[in-house]
A = this chain, B = another copy of it.
Amino acid sequence: MTRDAIEVVYRVRAAAADIDVRIEALLLEQTVELPRSALRTAFVRENVVGRVVAIEPLEADDYRVTLAQPRAATADDPAQLLNVLFGNCSLQPDVELEDVRLPRALAAVLGGPRFGIAGLRRLLGVHGRAVTASVLKPIGLSVGETAALCRTLALSGLDLVKDDHGLADHSFSPYAERVAACLEAIRDAAQRTGRRTLYVPNLIGTPATVLHQACQARELGVEAVMVSPMLIGLPTLNQLARETGMAVLAHPAFGGSLRISPVALLGRLFPLFGADAVIYPSFGGRFSYGPDVCAAVAGALRAPSAPIAPAFPVPAGGMRVENMPAVLDFYGPDTVLLIGGSLLDAPGEAALLERSGQFVAAVHSHRPR
């Protein structure tokens, strides 16, 4: 099974005297879910039970454990893959999922980003510098107010404007009407500026709703959409990415508190399941990831293993225009910079246009140190 093994890396808390027993239990829990004594079939023992690759002591009672699990156990299914990685052991607080390495053939089945950094740069027409992005919020704006905000942000020269992840098919802002109005606002702004902004609507709901919204978006001319994979389900993201023909931006809502490291969830699983760009809370804002975690997530997104395409890191969550030079020095050009509140706090349309224009200018004029 070696060639087709999935390497899964966990942090496991256990006393030194118990670690071997604990790891044997973890290995079996994630596939056969039975003690070895109950495995009466040679096929099961040889093809479904994995093996321990490495046990690395870190601190007292803290280990990094690498298991090799057979691809056959996953049935090449995206949901069953999650089961093998972190299904039952998510219920055991002494285990954290730290990293995942898939065999090339299984990664190819899932497919990864269809557009990735290169395809999104083609859509955006932006090369050699970071991408500027903002957001249409708060929820509660009417269609007209949302489209007016979209137009102002596009006029300021932003590369990408996305829906807030809480924008659903609200009665005060019906989905299809809002998407059509925002596309019109983008086209209107492009006639004035000569540059087209990419508008990215949010898809949210049951699979039937998400897929219907995706169809409506495509018919209206949308080229990229956003979803929150942990809200709609990672397998729903995978189906969408396989079927939609549009680029997919992923939002981390509902996913932050899993005992899965940000690198494993946002840096590996989100792109593996098809996200072309992944939003995550950057350091210094109102969320909890430090610079090391943010750099590791960005690194994992940009440098996946073959055959998965590189995806854009999208740091967000409390970033400010004033900090752009430092942020750009930290993240480099293969980055989508997403600023929401710090722009939308501007008092009125003229102030918003000016502040958003400062953001655009800061990114366009930045030269790497």
Contact = CB atoms under 8 A, between A and B. Distances in A.
Contact of A87 (B205, B253, B341): B253
A38 interface: yes
A165 to B, nearest CB: 7
A141 B42 CA distance: 10
Contacts of A210: 235
A191 to B, nearest CB: 27
Given A79-B231, A253-B83, A166 B31 contact: yes
Interface string A145-173: 10000000000000000001110111110
A250 to B, nearest CB: 13
Interface residues of A, number: 84
Interface stretch (A255-263, A299-307, A321-329): A255-263
Contacts of A171: 72, 75
B80 A204 contact: yes
Contacts of A254: 82-83, 86-87, 90
A78 B47 CA distance: 39
Interface stretch (A59-67, A120-128, A132-140): A132-140
A84 interface: yes
Given A79-B168, A207-B235, A232-B233, 15 more contacts: A29-B286, A31-B166, A32-B139, A33-B340, A34-B137, A41-B141, A75-B168, A78-B206, A80-B168, A83-B231, A87-B253, A231-B234, A233-B236, A257-B257, A257-B258
Contact of A169 (B72, B75, B82): B75
A262 to B, nearest CB: 9
Contacts of A260: 257
Interface string A223-263: 00000101111111011000000000000111111111000
A258 B254 CA distance: 9
B239 A33 contact: no
Nearest to A206: B239
Interface in A19-63: 25, 29, 31-35, 37-39, 41, 43-44, 47-48
Given A31-B139, A232-B235, A257-B259, A91 B252 contact: yes
Nearest to A256: B91
